[in-house]
Amino acid sequence: MLARHQEPIVAIATAPGRGAVGIVRVSGRGLSGLIQALCARPLKAREATYLPFRDQDGSAIDHGLAIHFPGPNSFTGEDVLELQAHGGPVVLQLLVTRCLQAAAETDAATGQPRLPGLRVAQPGEFSERAFLNDKIDLTQAEAIADLIDASTEAAARSASRSLAGDFSREIHTLRDALIHLRMLVEATLDFPEEEIDFLQKADAQGQLDRLEAHLATVLQRTRQGALLREGIRVVIAGQPNAGKSSLLNALAGAELAIVTPIAGTTRDVVQQTIQIEGVPLHVIDTAGLREGEGVDEVEQIGIERAWGQIEQADAVLFLHDLTRTTDNAYAASDAEIAQTLLQRLPQGVPVIDIWNKADAAPAPLVQEGITLSARTGEGLQALRQRLLHEAGWQSASEGLYIARERHVQALLRVGEHLNIAQQLLAAQAQSLDLLAEELRQSQNALNDITGEFSADDLLGVIFSSFCIGK
């Protein structure tokens, strides 16, 4: 543990701004001297006490509730003091300043500073302390940030399940099965002269098969959880006046983009996050794609930005105008855009053909893709379901937990090592040392998820995204 993790910390634990209640939190070891200075009395453990918070001269900074959580029975695993005051930013900052001041003052009884080294916490440092002191694992720590940042009800509920340990238990079950299989392989390596075939008798092949089957189930649920957290980027592309801005407005249910019959009205990127069955979709409207006369310098910049967004998309909605399907020049431009999409999009990014203005088309036309009217809403539900399908979303589950892309990648690494292990197990004695190594690598990938063996730089990235008071 780094030296800074031993230092006591203090921070405002509530969101910036004014509110009815604000919280200042202190975490460290041996807070009795600080508590005496701030509250002028000792506090009963885990019992809220209403009292004045004392300034250096004994006057009251504010009146509120003080709660002392002695370690290790606290969120961070250390002694924790929470001061619940009125939620004005000035009042809360005065309390933080007073905590720092009181910590440096000499205690009359000991002749030493009341809480040496007290400093303002860094982002996420309270949750980091909880992780380092084994109060939560890394997936639970990430779930705290995900719960705070949840943009949909489904994401919030799933983050709560992860915080309660649902995802961690799945990973631990996989890890325990791996450890048991590793034990069998290591035993065979350690006692090669034994007549008993440890692996065959213990059904090592069956254990590995069941492990892979369980991994597939966990991976599928983890992908769903990552999708619930991250969502997908959906870019609307097409020629001018195909109805791209109208489609964005229809999906969002609000007039976000300006809609006019003038070609080139949209000249910059307009983005809105919507949700479908709890899945966030980041829908991006772009400038109409065209070349030739009538394209001024500003519109050209918008077109270049449009292609930049398209190249970063998880899915592209290629919008066509049904009222112009008989126009040869229009059809030729659409074909040219389609060819460019094939060249510039990464492999595997779906392009969904959307035939807009069904309400204004001269006659019903059957086209490959989805036919809709952004103006009337006809066909929008089919588009929403298609987007969920392309994203890989399945029906929402009550037991779904939140996850991140790094969790998905770690589980994919586990699968790769287990696949090699299957091949090595068939060779048995000739490759048991390699088999043992693949199983060890699989376990390491699982440990990366829960943080049991994690590099400090990974922890820094994760916890630096937290707010100060967490």
| pLDDT by 10s per residue, the chain, length 470 | 556 788 999 999 998 888 899 999 999 999 999 999 999 999 999 999 999 999 999 999 999 999 999 999 999 999 999 999 999 899 999 999 999 999 999 887 788 899 999 999 998 899 999 999 989 988 998 898 888 888 778 888 888 999 998 999 999 999 989 888 888 887 777 665 554 466 677 788 888 999 999 999 999 889 888 888 888 899 998 888 888 888 888 887 755 544 434 444 444 577 888 888 888 888 888 888 877 666 667 777 888 888 888 898 889 999 999 888 888 988 898 899 989 888 888 888 899 999 998 888 776 555 678 998 888 888 899 999 998 888 888 766 667 888 889 999 999 999 999 999 998 887 765 677 888 889 989 999 999 998 875 445 445 544 565 565 66
| Beta-sheet strand order (sheet of 370-371) | 270-276, 279-285, 232-238, 315-321, 351-356, 370-371
Looking at 362, 391, 420, the residue that finishes a domain is: 391
Query: The CATH number of the domain where 198 resides is what?
Result: 1.20.120.430
Q: Which residues are annotated as a binding site for K(+)?
A: 241, 260, 262, 265
Q: Which residues are annotated as a binding site for GTP?
A: 241-246, 260-266, 285-288, 356-359, 373-375
Q: Please, are residues 317 and 356 in contact by the beta-carbon 8 Å criterion?
A: no
Instruction: Tell me the residue range of the domain where 267 lies.
Output: 233-391
One domain for residues 193 and 316: no
**Which of helix, strand or coil describes residue 209?**
helix
Looking at 391, 413, 440, the residue that finishes a domain is: 391
One domain for residues 375 and 335: yes
One domain for residues 203 and 127: no
One domain for residues 222 and 243: no
Rounded Cα gap, residues 187 and 308, in angstroms:
56
Number of domains in the chain: 3
Q: Please, are residues 237 and 286 in contact by the beta-carbon 8 Å criterion?
A: yes
Rounded Cα gap, residues 437 and 171, in angstroms:
20
Residue 386 φ/ψ region, left for φ over 0, alpha for ψ in the -120 to 50 degree band, beta for the rest: alpha
One domain for residues 212 and 301: no
Q: Specify if 243 maps to a domain.
A: yes
One domain for residues 122 and 173: no
Q: Which residues are annotated as a binding site?
A: 25, 82, 135, 241-246, 260-266, 285-288, 356-359, 373-375, 470
Q: Specify if 207 maps to a domain.
A: yes
Residue 287 φ/ψ region, left for φ over 0, alpha for ψ in the -120 to 50 degree band, beta for the rest: beta
Contacts 24+ apart (CB under 8 A), 390-396: 390/232, 390/315, 390/350, 390/352, 391/227, 391/232, 391/279, 391/281, 391/314, 391/315, 392/223, 392/224, 392/227, 393/224, 393/227, 393/277, 393/279, 394/224, 396/154, 396/277, 396/278
Rounded Cα gap, residues 95 and 60, in angstroms:
10
pLDDT of residue 297: 75
Query: The CATH number of the domain where 297 resides is what?
Result: 3.40.50.300
Q: Which residues are annotated as a binding site for Mg(2+)?
A: 245, 266
One domain for residues 243 and 367: yes
pLDDT of residue 130: 92
One domain for residues 360 and 446: no
Query: The CATH number of the domain where 94 resides is what?
Result: 3.30.1360.120
